[in-house]
Structure 1
Amino acid sequence: MDALSALIQHASPKANLFFSGNLCGSSESDSQGGQLHLLKSGELNVYETGGSKHVLTEPTLIFYPKGRSHKIQSQSLQGCDLVCATVTFQDSPLSRAMPEMVVIPLSQLTHLEAVLTLLFDEAFSERYGHVASVAHLLDLLLILLIRHLVAEKVCEAGVLAALSHPRLASSLEVMHNQMDEPWTIETLAQKAGMSRARFAAVFQQTLGQPPLTYLTEVRLLKAQQLLLAGQPIKSVALEVGYSGSVAFTRAFSRCFGTTPAQWLATLQA
């Protein structure tokens, strides 16, 4: 599995449609959870907390991956045609690396034209099953959008930036796909085809943390998902690269301030 696919699998991005149609007037959103807006036609003003304003006069994608309080308002009495969805991510390196906001005219997303055309067609139809089909198309759009952010180097730092670096991407791929291996900076540098010192420096510069710190984060965030899925602590420890439950519990406690068992008990209370 390539690095981006592994990151997406870990993050499990999910979009849920909450509006499709003509917006005549305005709609406000709080900062809870991500949101995706697709302007199909018309003109739209987007106001953010703090006074920022975006004036959209052509079909445009507006994406708040981490959520942000904002208001959208049609510029004319004729309104504008919109598709809006909530977006959720599992806590993961990918979700943590997403930008605060993405605004892209659809004219710049020609490689997504087929998906967008089908999505708009389904969203504004009354055909049987259109709600289910839109849900799947939104999930696909999310994945393709993330790939676009990597390909176009929209993010200058973090794991999305590292994915566009051919050598760092190789090390990320093995970290996410073989996290049970006893990786060291030396072996990761070999996978990247770089010297130990060069690899450590470039990794730190791009992702903002040392390679083994990132690897620990990957392992423990994945461990949380496995624990929530009902796997025993011992098997989770081995799956994410620890020698046993004692070493795993120690690392988990250092990172989250609580043991795996206490963390689960809190969530299930």
Structure 2
Amino acid sequence: MIVLALKVERWLRSADNFTVGMETRRWAINNLHVPINRLDVMDRLSLLLQRFSLSAGVFYAGQLCGIHHFDQDPARGHVHLVRRGPVRLTGMPESAQRIEQPTLVFMPRPDAHRLIADEHEGADVVCANILFGAGGRNPITDSLPGMVLVPLADLPGAEALLSLLDEEAFTPHCGRQAALDRLCEILLIRLLRYCMDQGITQGGALAGLSDVRLSKALMALHEHPEHDWTLDTMADLAGMSRARFAVHFKEVMGQTPADYLSDWRIALAQSRLREGRPIKALAQELGYANPSALSRAFSARTGLSPRDWLRRETLGASPTS
């Protein structure tokens, strides 16, 4: 039934078929249990960000002089927006970078690193912490390389955002911090779009969602982790044969459909455990017959029971997935 519902839902959303009128829309809602908001366009990235919501916290905006150290951070990504350079970025496993032009640097899993600017001339920089969901590893940042460095001239629509960022950063308006945080979040969404469009991924969810055929199956899987997904069902949604889907999925995503589904469910479980949800309340909504089945799958993927994993998270140890 879920496959039929998703197919009818996509058909109803297509521009050519809005002429079917409200009677057909009501029939789909009543008989296929398609929520009315899902009859509106839901894009591939928004659906992912619904599960792992983006939150930015700008902690520095202004002129940077000399050497500034940043610690390793297993829970949060780091953004450095260089408005005016030059700046040297050192300490990452990647080779040191000298940034001359306005550039956005995103480190999804930052190691300890340094920004170095001239002692006298300085550089104009905005720095922020980035959380997806409740923090730690997640399918979004796991899809990206250790450092994404994009000249702002290459990022569509960045200039208008940067003008607003400059105004908020250097003018003492009330609500300044909230405005800076929200603008940084929009900038990150633009960056994620850019990464998907340009293929700046290392497999995983963003690579799959960038694929025209795989994205259809992934969007359904992301929205309905509770469904009893089979290879046939996913292949049907992608419009591919079972064998071709399995091969193509692994080529693009870097893992089998079954492994990705398991990782997705466990990632959702981890996020919800961080939010305080009990394991017994999560089993059915994540596609497991009972809490014991979820606990076994969780231990198999992480090496820890849900309780032990959450205790370690609470104590501030490095998260795993």
TM-score (norm 2): 0.77
Unaligned runs of 5+ in 1: none
What are the equivalent positions in structure 2 for 1:131-210 lying under 5 Å apart? 131-155=177-201, 157-210=203-256
Could you tell me which residue of structure 1 aligns to residue 261 of structure 2?
215
Q: Which of 64, 71, 84 is the matching residue for 1:30?
A: 71
- Taking the TM superposition and a 5 Å limit, the aligned residue runs for 1:56-67 are 56-67=99-110
C-alpha distance in 2 between matches for 1:253 and 1:156: 25
Cα pair distance change 1:78/1:262, threshold 3 Å: closer
Q: Tell me how far apart the structure 2 counterparts of residues 2 and 108 of structure 1 sit (CA, whole Å).
A: 23
Question: In structure 2, what is the equivalent of residue 96 of structure 1?
Answer: 142
Does the 8 Å contact 1:237/1:248 carry over to 2?
yes
Secondary structure of the corresponding residue to residue 240 of structure 2: coil
3-state SS in 2 of match to 1:93: coil
Per the alignment, residue 16 of structure 1 pairs with 57
TM-score by length of 1: 0.91
- Residues 117-147 of structure 1: CA distance to partner in whole angstroms, max 9, x if unpaired? 2112211222222112101111222222112
Show CA shifts across 1:146-170 (max 9, x none): 1221122222533222211111111
Q: Say if 1:220 and 1:71 are closer, same or farther in 2 by CA, change over 3 A.
A: same
| 1:46 partnered with 2:89 | yes
1:76, distance to aligned residue in structure 2 (A) = 6.5
Instruction: Give the corresponding residue for 2:31.
Output: none
Shift of 1:95: 2.2
Contact 1:34–1:68 (8 Å) recurs in 2: no
Query: CA separation in 2, counterparts of 1:54 and 1:266?
Result: 35
Answering whether residue 78 of structure 2 is matched by residue 78 of structure 1, we say: no
Partner in structure 1 of residue 152 of structure 2: 106
Query: Which residue number in structure 1 is paired with residue 175 of structure 2?
Result: 129
Secondary structure of residue in 2 paired with 1:234: helix
Q: Distance in 2 between matches of 1:198 and 1:50?
A: 37
Separation (CA, whole Å) in 2 of partners of 1:101 and 1:198: 32
- What residue ranges of structure 2 are gaps of 5+ in the alignment? 1-41, 316-321
Alignment RMSD:
2.1
Q: Which of 48, 56, 59 is 1:7 aligned to?
A: 48
Q: Between 179-188 and 143-152, report the one with greater CA deviation.
A: 143-152
The worse-fitting range, judged by mean Cα deviation, of 19-28 and 83-92 is: 83-92
> 76-85 or 132-141, which moves further after superposition?
76-85
Contact 1:40 1:120 in 2 (8 A): no
Structure showing greater relative contact order (alpha-carbon pairs closer than 8 Å, 6 or more residues apart): 1
> Residue 18 and residue 155 in structure 1: after superposition, are their counterparts in 2 closer, same or farther (change >3 A)?
same
| C-alpha separation in 1, matches of 2:292 and 2:118 | 60
Give CA-to-partner distance per residue, 1:56-90, whole Å, 9 cap, x none.
22111111111022221224622111111122333
Cα distance in 2, alignment partners of residues 73 and 217 from structure 1: 38
| Conserved 8 A contact 1:10-1:92 | no
Q: Decide whether the 8 Å contact of 1:47 with 1:71 is kept in 2.
A: yes
